[in-house]
Amino acid sequence: MPQKVAPRRAPRASLWTMRVLLTGHLAAVLAQPVLAGRYLTGDVDAIEVHGLIGSLLALVAMALIAGALLYVVAGRGRLWILPVAVALFFAEGIQIGMGHAGQLELHVPLGVAIVVTAVLLAGWAWSPAARRPRGRR
């Protein structure tokens, strides 16, 4: 009698957690250049909202680390997402510090890098590749 092979577990709930977190993170990240632009065009109150959302992004990045850990461990998802989430947390921490210090020569390009990373991560989370369990292509 042929032995039945158990199907590999694919991330489901953990992937949906990552999708929600990464999409929310992306929305907040995309608001940042808009708010900075509003400030530069004369809306002085926009910089306060820019700073508030920037500070809240640190909390969202911590939640992303927890979600990535869940996705990797419980969901058997891709391993690379965890170090990327940690790096994003540190990048956003540096971004907050540079913004408060007025160091725009680092704040602006780092902000661009964070936006690009957030777009790529959110796009990946909704792709078929994110559904595949580790060890299978």
pLDDT tens, residue by residue, 28-42: 999 999 999 999 999
Q: What is the pLDDT of residues 51-103, one digit of tens each?
A: 999 999 999 999 999 999 999 999 889 999 999 999 999 999 999 999 999 99
Angstrom CA distances, 11 to 14, 56, 78, 114, stand at 6, 27, 9, 26
Residues, the chain, total?
A: 137
Give pLDDT, residue 69: 96
Predicted structure pTM score: 0.88
Structure tokens, 96: 């907050």
